[in-house]
Amino acid sequence: MTPLAGSPNTPLEPPERHSTRQRTVSPSGQAARKSARIIGTGSYLPEKVLTNSDLEKMVDTSDEWITTRTGIKERRIASPEEPTSSLATEAARRAIEDAGIAAEEIQLIIMATFTGDVLMPATACLVQKNLGATRAAAFDLSAACTGFIYGLSVAKQFVLSGFYDTVLVVAAEKLSCVTDWTDRNTCVLFGDGAGAAVVSSQGEGPRIIGEYLASDGSIYELLILPGGGSLHPPTHQTVDQGLHFLKMSGREVFKHAVTCMVDGAQKLITQHNLSPQDIRLLVPHQANKRIISEVGKRLGIPAERIYVNIERYGNMSAATTSVGMDEAFRSNQFNPGDKILLVAFGGGFTWGSVLLEW
């Protein structure tokens, strides 16, 4: 029987381009205890910038309102020729290059998105094709803004179990396609973008030392994209009602976002016997600068140890934490032992956190 692509039984031929990363080998020459590391990261933001003053011409809003209520100054908008898979592919290419591996070395692609190119097949499969990652299995994961955290956690389990050695996690969203550009309550908040990470048992990079995942489906309607699925299949009526646009009860979501992100961060801090002072950098989901400030205040982590890029990109859902992590890795000097905490919250509700050790 021909083994399936990406199966652990598939013999891996040596890739044409060898990894420049050091393999994790103990002084005795024995393979060291397995760990899951982020050996490469990358991100991609579409070129087109939509500023608050652009939005002033589209809906009844102001730069002053958007800036003071959200912290957002501008966001990126993908072109009609750039579906989510294109954003994801570019971010993934950069992560693969950063990892110093060949696309054929990837054994699994996990794609976090709720704005995939089509409902079926999974956008992960299109990314696999674009990358030429011919040995990889591929699937999409739906956890809204928490998608990248969920994806990293799933990748870690595959790597630690030994089932796969090298997993690509991509988070990409084209939220401009599900945004009602006549609704000032939501259209000022969102943007498009993509981020990616290569998780492997071999190579150098921060180790994933902990993760916490949670969900509460009882209040799912507070943040929802109601149309286009089996509950409201697309019809002229659902389109007329705007059910294909993201709906959000902003004030309610705000409160839950703060409580849940604090919960997610505190769970890992406590589990790992750390104090907030031990967190070198917090990389939170960026939905609103006031949410981020409140989370930092409640956790006791000062602003200078919180990575913030919301003013440039707005909320890119799952892509937000992945882009934030990639930028934070490139703009900070970390020392061995430094702890980096990723935390996110989103539709579902879902929330969670990932703890990294440099």
| Catalytic-labelled residue, pool 52, 187, 260, 315 | 315
* Residue 246 beta carbon to ligand ACO: minimum distance, rounded to whole angstroms: 6
Choose between 40 and 71: whose C-beta lies nearer to ligand ACO. 71
* Residue 163 beta carbon to ligand ACO: minimum distance, rounded to whole angstroms: 30
Q: What count of Cα atoms within 13 Å lies in the side-chain half-sphere of residue 20?
A: 6
315 among known catalytic residues: yes
Choose between 163 and 181: whose C-beta lies nearer to ligand ACO. 181
145 among known catalytic residues: yes
**Phi, psi (rounded to 5 degrees) for 343:** -145, 140
Choose between 171 and 188: whose C-beta lies nearer to ligand ACO. 188
Position with the least CB separation from ligand ACO = 250
* Residue 293 beta carbon to ligand ACO: minimum distance, rounded to whole angstroms: 12
* Residue 127 beta carbon to ligand ACO: minimum distance, rounded to whole angstroms: 21
Choose between 160 and 214: whose C-beta lies nearer to ligand ACO. 214
| Catalytic-labelled residue, pool 52, 125, 145, 260 | 145
Choose between 198 and 283: whose C-beta lies nearer to ligand ACO. 283
Interaction site with ligand ACO (CB under 6 A): 61, 65-66, 69-70, 144-145, 184-185, 188, 223, 250-251, 253-254, 257, 287-288, 291, 315, 317, 346-347
* Residue 187 beta carbon to ligand ACO: minimum distance, rounded to whole angstroms: 7
Q: Please, which residues have CB within 8 angstroms of residue 39's CB and are 6 or more apart in sequence?
A: 21, 99, 100, 101, 198, 199, 200, 202, 203, 204, 205
* Residue 56 beta carbon to ligand ACO: minimum distance, rounded to whole angstroms: 9
| Catalytic-labelled residue, pool 125, 187, 260, 285 | 285
Choose between 106 and 143: whose C-beta lies nearer to ligand ACO. 143
SS (HEC) of the chain: CCCCCCCCCCCCCCCCCCCCCCCCECCCCCECCCCCEEEEEEEECCCEEEEHHHHHCCCCCCHHHHHHHHCCCEEEECCCCCCHHHHHHHHHHHHHHHHCCCHHHCCEEEEECCCCCCCCCCHHHHHHHHHCCCCCEEEEECCHHHHHHHHHHHHHHHHHHCCCCEEEEEEEEEHHHCCCCCCHHHHCCECEEEEEEEEECCCCCCEEEEEEEEECHHHHHHEECCCCCCCCCCCHHHHHCCCCCCEECHHHHHHHHHHHHHHHHHHHHHHCCCCHHHEEEEEECCCCHHHHHHHHHHHCCCHHHECCCHHHHCECCHHHHHHHHHHHHHHCCCCCCCEEEEEEEECCCEEEEEEEEC
Catalytic residues: 145, 285, 315
